A = this chain, B = another copy of it.
Amino acid sequence: MTQTIRYTLVGLGNIGRNLLDILAHRQAAIEADYGLSFCLVGAADTSGAALSAEGLDPARVRDLKLEGQGVAFYPGVGRPGMSAQAMVEEAVAEMLVEASPTNLQDGQPGMGCILRALEKGQHVVTANKGPLVLAFHKLSAMAREAGVKLLYSGTVAGGLPTINIGIRDLAGSEVLKVEGILNGTTNYILTRMEQEGISYEEALKGAQAAGIAEADPTLDVDGWDAANKLVIVANSVLRRPTALSELHVEGIRGLTLDDLRRAREAGKVIKLLALAEKEGDDYRLSVRPTALDKEHPLARTGLWDMGVVYHTDYMGVISAVIEEKGPVPTSAAVLRDMINVYAG
């Protein structure tokens, strides 16, 4: 027996658009495997929104975006200029999927949409880090009180199940240390420098050409993206209320080929490491370029890899690495969260 789940989608950049593409292809399989039928009742982007109680066609919305159009141009039900929050307000749904760009000033527009959805008793799946970095405890508490799920496995390293492993698979054991390569852009840059002997500037240009670094790469290369992810890990997996300002954060901008060579000669590899290490009753949290022993589980991560290592008391040392060549795995992570609200 199939359960129909009405959802709204905020954000139709890579993540939102690829999600719709996956859903268009996997609709029948999801129904067969999980008894779930996801029905898109509202979508919003910078052009406005579109609303339909009968459901918008994910493939049609995807194609509009591929043609460079806004969702407000969806035939018949487009609402030019409508804000995402207004769309969430008007739509009747069981779930909000939030995929708007991360904004670390005030988390908007995602924050407003998530708050409204939780107030309306909707489950929330988010790939947007901002609201979680800024207000993790408030949002978690609201979800708990409303008796709904707030899932965000796609926020910490794309498809890598960092959050899920930390919360679910280590339940009952204590986490002594977390080591992560959580930002793909900087791992790509460092790997190219290491393997090809090119300069940081050249490797950065390569990353920009490959579409995995922005014109302004600050968020990635100065370590802030990795830091945001570590904040989410600390709040969720380590149950430690944590603000971004508490972390020591250092990026890769100053690294030279000489630095890499000296590390190599000492049998090590330099990686941008996000680290949480137990110290008494607390954890020390940092993001900094770190010389890892070449036998370290993360030392051999490559151009398209991200990874995490959990050191525990009873569960040994568990490491997980993902190879993801592009943005699709993040959308796949959003989909797994949508399914796991009901199937998990």
Contacts and interface: CB of A to CB of B under 8 A. Distances in A.
A315 B168 contact: no
Interface stretch (A3-11, A26-34, A43-51, A112-120): A26-34
A168 to B, nearest CB: 6
A324 interface: yes
A139 interface: no
A168 B171 contact: no
Interface in A114-165: 153, 158-161, 164-165
A318 B315 contact: no
A28 to B, nearest CB: 12
B331 A314 contact: yes
Contacts of A165: 161, 164-165, 169, 320
A240 to B, nearest CB: 12
Given A159-B316, A314-B329, A318-B160, A339 B34 contact: no
B314 A171 contact: no
Contact of A344 (B159, B168, B173, B295): B168
Contacts of A300: 295, 300
A20 interface: no
Contact of A168 (B22, B168, B328): B168
Contacts of A312: 332
B336 A171 contact: yes
A174 interface: yes
Nearest to A160: B318
Contacts of A209: none
Contacts of A153: 169
A150 to B, nearest CB: 14
Contacts of A173: 22, 332, 335-336
B22 A172 contact: yes
A33 B317 CA distance: 21
A300 B34 CA distance: 36
B159 A318 contact: yes
A139 B179 CA distance: 38
A206 interface: no
A90 to B, nearest CB: 28
A40 B343 CA distance: 29
A170 interface: yes
A16 to B, nearest CB: 15
A323 interface: yes
A293 to B, nearest CB: 13
Contacts of A344: 168, 344
A29 B172 CA distance: 8
28 contacts: A29-B174, A33-B239, A34-B171, A159-B316, A161-B165, A164-B164, A164-B165, A164-B169, A165-B169, A168-B168, A168-B336, A168-B340, A171-B335, A172-B332, A172-B335, A172-B336, A172-B338, A173-B332, A173-B336, A304-B316, A314-B328, A314-B332, A315-B324, A315-B333, A316-B325, A316-B329, A317-B324, A318-B322
